[in-house]
Structure 1
Amino acid sequence: MKKEYKNILLSIEKEEINVSRSKDSAINEAHHMISFLRKLLTDLKTEILLKGFESVADEICFFKHVKPEILGRLIYYNKILKIETLSPTNSEYHACFYTGQLKLLNKEYKKYISNSEFYKYYRSGRTDRDETYFRLGNINVFDGLDSFFFEVDPDFSTFYDFKIARVIGFDLLHTYLSSHGARPEIENSDSLELNEDAQFSWTDSKNALIELIYALHISRSVSNGKAGLRKISQMFEDIFEVSLGDIHHAFHQMKFRAGQKARYLHFLRNSLEQYMDKEF
């Protein structure tokens, strides 16, 4: 990625940091970032329509990595604006409200994004069809497009840049809702049967424990990585006196689920940071 594009992404990060330090309301922060991002996108559009791209690689990079980051955050802050204006004034109901919003988000994600072939292409890190997906003028209307495509500017959109932006926006929103007390909906197949006689009980979901096990294994945090995945899993099964079953199959399903990939780890981080920020 060329330096100019890196500086653009860095400017967004700096602006978000400055806004978060202002300790303003979430609504005002969202308003500010929406204005900032819209101007940034407009300026980029003017420049690109005037000068074009330096190369095919430059064009692909812009529509695959740069524009989606900007547009994805626009989607994210716009949704925050809508959510926060509906948020109950009584803090007692916040967790329930955000959990409800998270459920709606996951349903929308599954319906419009996670089941598509392009989503699998993007998440897998493939590049073999980049010239089709991320170059202007390559859209085949016979593929069956979302209706909104006919309203976008064909000189500044490949259609698939918006699809990535939507994924980015949903991932950011998932983290935001989780940090405000929302908990992922736990399906029956993801629950563990508690042993009431056990000294320690795992009271979160099975997938949450599997996430933790994989994170410890991949990060080499147990025995400098010498302990195998199965041994770490067995250790937790022994501690909590539960059966996790086929953790490899469960992990594979988690890789393609809607929203944030490592939900439980993000929840742990957000919970700890909120606790650290409390004034005692």
Structure 2
Amino acid sequence: MENKLGLESLPAFDEAYKMVLFLQELLVELKAEIIQQGFVSIQDEIDFFKIVKPEILGKLIYYNKIFRIETGCPVSSGKMYFRYYLNEFRLLKQEYKNHISNSNFYRYYRSGRTDNDDTYFRLGKINIHDGLNSFVFEVESNFSTYYDYKVARIIANEFLYSYLLSKINQKDELHHKFKNSYNSKDLLWTDSKSALVELIYALYASGVLSHGKISARKIGSVFQALFRIPINDLHHAFHRMKTRAGSRTIFLDHLKNSLEEYMDKEP
């Protein structure tokens, strides 16, 4: 679904809204399946609540936050735009510091430990004596271990961190430079955003710009300014490309084929 929406070049808030609806429905279907069928083994149950559900719920939390951030942005450029995303970035860092990084569970999860998985990721193992957050009383006991939600929050915050970082690092100077260029106003990117991400990462991976000493994010900023097209989360978009079915370099393959066909036509 992410790949499909990426090809449609939707505004960030629209793509986020559609992903929220999709992921909500996916969780409802999963819940019905789990309640009806249960798990084939203890390890199956642990894997579901440690890996499968948090990946989906984490994306749901992430896209819902993106929708709220994008629909609350007061302007589309300029200093106020920069300050808005910078403030959101600071709030995220503060939330991470206050509620995530200092917890014993975060250190357990980040270290890759498995010795307490039977307690953290199996149904009916919630221990109130641990002094858990009051959210525990809202947990659906037949579809959550409480800690699956904590993992989902960690995943969501990682995605959100990359998204906001890409926003605040877009330099207004680049936008003004290209806006005032004589030819740039007529230069439009008319393919999908996914195709542009392919091109950006191909240039980055090959090291052909600035002797390979420029980041993919900076290359992306130049292209966004040049074509006046937003790429909501370059890092996230690239990782979606890596999981494509079939060719992972559809656009680059198309470029190669188009050039070869053009060469064959030329006398």
Give the shorter-chain TM-score range: 0.5 to 0.7
Deviations 1:205-242 (A, max 9, x none): xxxxxxxxxxxxxxxxxxxxxxxxxxxxxxxxxxxxxx
Aligned residue for 1:83? 69
1:16 to 2:5 alignment: no
SS at 1:127 equivalent: coil
Choose from 158, 174, 179 the match for 2:166: 179
1:96 to 2:80 alignment: no
Offset at residue 182 of structure 1 (A)? 4.8
In 1, the alpha carbon distance for the partners of 2:6 and 2:83 equals 24
Offset at residue 276 of structure 1 (A)? 4.1
Aligned residue for 2:217? 270
In 1, the alpha carbon distance for the partners of 2:169 and 2:114 equals 35
TM-score, normalized by length of structure 1? Answer: 0.63
In 2, the alpha carbon distance for the partners of 1:148 and 1:61 equals 22
Task: Work out whether residues 87 and 97 of structure 1, in 8 Å CA contact, stay in contact via their aligned partners in 2.
Answer: yes
SS at 1:128 equivalent: coil
Aligned residue for 2:125? 138
Q: Which amino acid aligns with 2:15?
A: E
SS at 2:114 equivalent: coil
Offset at residue 25 of structure 1 (A)? 1.2
Q: Following superposition, which runs of at least 4 residues in structure 1 exceed 3 angstroms of deviation?
A: 276-280
Structural RMSD (CA): 2.1
Task: Work out whether residues 96 and 182 of structure 1, in 8 Å CA contact, stay in contact via their aligned partners in 2.
Answer: no
Offset at residue 36 of structure 1 (A)? 0.4
Choose from 74, 91, 97 the match for 2:60: 74
Aligned residue for 2:211? none
Structure 1 unaligned spans of 5+? 1-14, 184-266
Which has the larger displacement, 174-183 or 159-168? 174-183
Q: Cα distance 1:72–1:131, how it changes in 2: closer, same or farther (>3 A)?
A: same
In 2, the alpha carbon distance for the partners of 1:55 and 1:100 equals 45
In 2, the alpha carbon distance for the partners of 1:120 and 1:25 equals 36
Q: Cα distance 1:26–1:279, how it changes in 2: closer, same or farther (>3 A)?
A: closer
In 1, the alpha carbon distance for the partners of 2:82 and 2:112 equals 35
Deviations 1:32-90 (A, max 9, x none): 00000000000000000000001111101000000001110111011111111111224
Choose from 112, 115, 124 the match for 2:111: 124
How much identity, in percent, do the aligned residues show?
50
In 2, the alpha carbon distance for the partners of 1:268 and 1:127 equals 35
Q: Which amino acid aligns with 2:82?
A: A
1:165 to 2:152 alignment: yes
Which has the larger displacement, 18-27 or 149-158? 18-27
Aligned residue for 2:30? 44
User: Equivalent residues in 2 for 1:240-251 (5 A)?
Assistant: none
Aligned residue for 1:149? 136
In 2, the alpha carbon distance for the partners of 1:141 and 1:125 equals 24
Matched residues, number:
185
Structure 2 unaligned spans of 5+? 171-213, 229-267
Offset at residue 163 of structure 1 (A)? 0.3
In 1, the alpha carbon distance for the partners of 2:141 and 2:46 equals 15
SS at 1:98 equivalent: helix
Considering Cα pairs closer than 8 Å and 6+ residues apart, tell me whether 1 or 2 has the greater RCO.
2
Task: Work out whether residues 99 and 182 of structure 1, in 8 Å CA contact, stay in contact via their aligned partners in 2.
Answer: no
Aligned residue for 2:249? none
Offset at residue 271 of structure 1 (A)? 2.4
Task: Work out whether residues 179 and 271 of structure 1, in 8 Å CA contact, stay in contact via their aligned partners in 2.
Answer: no
SS at 1:154 equivalent: coil
SS at 2:168 equivalent: coil
Offset at residue 21 of structure 1 (A)? 1.8
Aligned residue for 2:17? 31
